């Protein structure tokens, strides 16, 4: 087996293009591993394959385009000329075909594997999807999809599908293929638009959808017959846990619902415990409720700019007749202590 330093490096053009891609470094590692496993990696035939890769790039052909199957990296002119007119190519053809096939199948299979992107607690993250669409994840949220929106190696899916756990703002590039967001309770289908989806599994409050621009179609996962609603800009709906149909369509303020994108904090019609859970995600703290019966009253809170967590806790506790105190890991919520009566 050859030492990595003795292997011929990637052509500068290919390395430059891979450097512009999110998974470029991983692809370089895949190619180098294949070269190490090949007993003729430094042979003249291998050099000919590299020359053809470089020629492909020089002709301006796209490399590793997610929406298209990977093609054999041979110039068009070489395909149209009979093999017998190129005796050197005829000798190298078996090795070149095998190498191209291994790389094409390997990269196509790699692109069909699922990938998960997460926003850690207390942080937000921007994710660029294979089609150029963007997903802005709120703290404690994750999105899962196949690297090339592929169902099998080299075969594009019928739609662009992602699975969401948490809260995210989507800006979808318009294409002929549908873009589908799947949660535990619902499916949201669009062609190209901007919208917000909130669906934390631990909230048990279902899926909420709000549209900034364009139109989306929302349906419940557990419906025997699909009953969907369509939303336009400035409209929203929700699909409750285990529901067979979405709820009513209502006018919403997407800017307020997505206040977290600007550092703000807004929750609508949520029980107090759900608000505490959201504070844990946003501020990466632990909030313990001790010896307090928190009622089923639902609250709405709105802070347009990033408030301190103590500001929010103070407002919530004042309204609920509670008190909060700091702990080594975060905060503790308890009942207010009664002041002694002065005689």
**3 state DSSP class of 261:** helix
Name the phi and psi angles at 216, rounded to 5.
Answer: -135, 160
Return the SS3 of 69: coil
C-alpha–C-alpha distance, residues 124 and 168, integer Å:
10
Termini Cα distance of the chain? 92
- Which residue, among 317, 311, 319, has the nearest Cα to 332 in the 3D structure? 317
DSSP string, 182-207: E-SSEEEEESS-EEEEEE-GGG-S-E
Question: E strands along 186-326, which residues?
Answer: 186-190, 194-199, 207-213, 216-220, 228-231, 235-239, 250-251, 265-271, 286-289, 298-303, 322-326
Q: How far is CA 86 from CA 12, 31, 90, 91, in A?
A: 27, 27, 6, 9
Residue 327: half-sphere exposure toward Cβ, Cα within 13 Å: 13
Element (H, E) at 24: helix 24-37
Q: What are phi and psi of 9, to 5 degrees?
A: -70, 165
Closest CA to 31 of 17, 341, 44: 17
106: left (phi over 0), alpha (psi -120 to 50) or beta: alpha
- Looking at residue 337, its pLDDT comes to 65
Pair 265, 304: CB distance under 8 Å:
no
Q: Are 297 and 254 in contact (CB under 8 A)?
A: no
Burial class (CB in 10 A: 0-12, 13-18, 19+), 63: middle
Where is 53: in which H helix or E strand? helix 44-58
Per-residue model confidence (pLDDT) at position 134: 96
In sequence order, the 6+-apart residues with CB closer than 8 A to the CB of 33 are none
- pLDDT mean for each 10 residues of the chain (343 residues): 52 62 58 52 54 54 42 45 51 55 54 84 94 95 86 59 96 92 94 93 86 95 81 94 90 93 90 91 92 76 91 92 91 74 48
Task: Report the pLDDT value the prediction gives residue 100, as an integer from 0 to 100.
Answer: 56
| CA pseudo-torsion sign 302, 304, 308, 314 | negative
Q: At what angle do helices 272-283 and 309-320 cross, to 10 degrees?
A: 170
What does the pLDDT read at residue 259? 93
């Amino acid at each position: 087996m050859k030492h990595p330093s003795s292997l011929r490096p990637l052509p500068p053009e290919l390395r430059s293009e891979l450097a512009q891609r999110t998974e470029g470094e991983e692809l370089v590692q895949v190619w180098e591993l294949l070269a190490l496993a090949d007993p003729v990696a430094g042979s003249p035939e291998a050099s000919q394959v590299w020359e053809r890769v470089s020629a492909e790039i020089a002709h301006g052909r796209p490399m590793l385009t997610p929406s298209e199957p990977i093609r054999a990296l041979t110039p068009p002119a070489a395909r149209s000329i009979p093999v017998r007119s190129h005796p050197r190519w005829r000798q190298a053809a078996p090795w070149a075909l095998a190498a191209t096939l291994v790389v094409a199948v390997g990269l196509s299979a790699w692109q069909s594997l699922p990938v998960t992107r997460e926003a850690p607690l207390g942080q937000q993250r921007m994710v660029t999807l294979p089609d150029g669409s963007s997903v802005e994840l709120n703290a404690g949220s994750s999105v899962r999809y196949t690297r090339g929106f592929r169902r099998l190696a080299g075969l594009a899916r019928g739609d662009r599908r992602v699975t969401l756990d948490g809260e995210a703002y989507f800006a979808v590039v318009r294409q002929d293929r549908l873009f589908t967001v799947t949660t535990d309770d619902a499916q949201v289908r669009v062609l190209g638009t901007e919208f917000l989806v909130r669906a934390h599994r631990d909230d048990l409050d279902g899926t909420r959808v709000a549209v900034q621009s364009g139109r989306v179609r929302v349906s419940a996962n557990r419906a025997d017959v699909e009953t969907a609603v369509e939303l336009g800009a400035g409209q929203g709906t929700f699909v409750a846990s285990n529901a067979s149909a979405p709820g009513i369509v209502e006018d919403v303020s997407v800017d307020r619902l997505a206040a977290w994108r600007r550092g703000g904090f807004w929750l609508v019609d949520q029980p107090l415990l759900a608000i505490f859970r959201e504070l844990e995600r946003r501020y990466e703290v632990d909030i313990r409720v001790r010896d307090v019966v928190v009622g089923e009253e639902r609250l709405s809170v709105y802070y347009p700019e990033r408030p301190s967590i103590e500001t929010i806790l103070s407002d919530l506790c004042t309204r609920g007749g509670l008190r909060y105190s700091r702990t080594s890991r975060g905060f503790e919520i308890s009942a207010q202590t009664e002041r002694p009566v002065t005689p």
